[in-house]
Amino acid sequence: MHRIVLLAALLTRAVAAHVHITAPPGTEPAYLAQSTMPPTVFHNPQTKLRRITSRKGKAESPMLNYIFDSYATSNKHFHDKFRAPSFDGDLTSDTLINADTGATVLFDCRVTSLRDKTVSWIRVSDEDNLELLTVDLETHTADSRYKVDVAGETWKLTLLEAKVHDSGIYCCHVSTHPPMLRRFQLIVHAPEIKMNKEAFLESGETLSLKCAILHLSPGETLPEIRWYRGNNTTSLDEIRGGVLIETDLMTLTSHLQVALLKVEDAGNYTCALEVPLPMRTVARVHVLQGSSLAELQSGVKTTTSYVSLLFTTLIFLIATQHGER
């Protein structure tokens, strides 16, 4: 009797292990095969993400494979997650940037494998005080001349209308541990206006003076350069004929020519930049008669010859004294 009960139990287990779900009429046989699919296994999230496939190459877990495809599409450089952030370029010394007053200054900082780290721009003043300019794409300074932008892996800080006091150290900061810093040294040159300070001419000749403005970027403002003589506030070409003024606004240079000089044309000639930054320089012009100029040149030659003769005599006397000893 016991053997019959034991045999019935074994047959019951065997039948239960091979039970099939009855398919509706007209259903494909593949429907029955799905009831025997092994359960989906969720691996430890810290393990490497990979596609789950069966031995025949067919996906066994559509949801996990969908997650895998989405991740792979949005993270084409998946291997970069194992690289530490780094700067491109030479970091052994500060990057030097020279700029003219009024120019637009651009700082470029390329950071690879940034991931979840933050990029900030910091200015170091002369007193070693730190001024936070930007954090990521947000500006944290009241100075509206600073702008920040990012293109790919390059973080760009822009400074508009640079001034001399903007000179100093600028740092590209990455929030790693310890922090990463890339330094830029900005030198904004003060504008200058240059011209010869004195000129000697003979009456009837043509005066030629050249004026140049250096280290100034006018931006969108149209510069204005004017010439004056003496204390006149009216431009020279408006009060005298025979005046030619050629001005190049691209190079900020101006050339003054005054033909058929007269003695009364002597005096101070002023080259003035009126816009965008008032600047002036003065040249003293001497207009002499032909004989006066000849006497002046002769006097210079005579004086030079006299000095040379006196110097030669002194050397001879010194040598003679040493010979007698």
Chain mean pLDDT for the chain = 76
pLDDT at res. 93? 85
Q: Tokens 């099939």 appear where?
A: 20
Residues of the chain with CATH 2.60.40.10: 86-189, 192-288
CA-nearest of 285, 90, 59 to 184 is 90
Report helix, strand or coil for 168: strand
Quickly tell me which residue has 């287990």 as its tokens. 13
- Ranking 20-24, 92-96, 178-182 by mean pLDDT, the lowest is 20-24
Please state, in angstroms and as integers, the Cα–Cα distance from residue 220 to each residue in 103, 204, 264, following that order: 11, 41, 40
Alpha-carbon gap, residue 210 to 212, rounded angstroms: 7
Tell me, what's the pLDDT at 55? 43
Which residues are paired to 245 by β-bridges? 256
CATH superfamily of domain region 86-189: Immunoglobulins (2.60.40.10)
Q: What is the pTM of this model?
A: 0.61
Helical H segments across 85-124, by residue range: none
**Quick one: pLDDT band at residue 292, thresholds 50, 70, 90?**
low
Task: Give percent of the chain with pLDDT exceeding 70.
Answer: 63
Is residue 39 pLDDT above 60, yes or no?
no
What does the pLDDT average to over 16-40? 45
**Strands 95-100, 180-189: pairing kind:** parallel
CATH number for region 192-288:
2.60.40.10
pLDDT grade for 237, boundaries at 50, 70 and 90: confident
pLDDT for 136: 92
* pLDDT band of 60, cuts 50, 70, 90: low
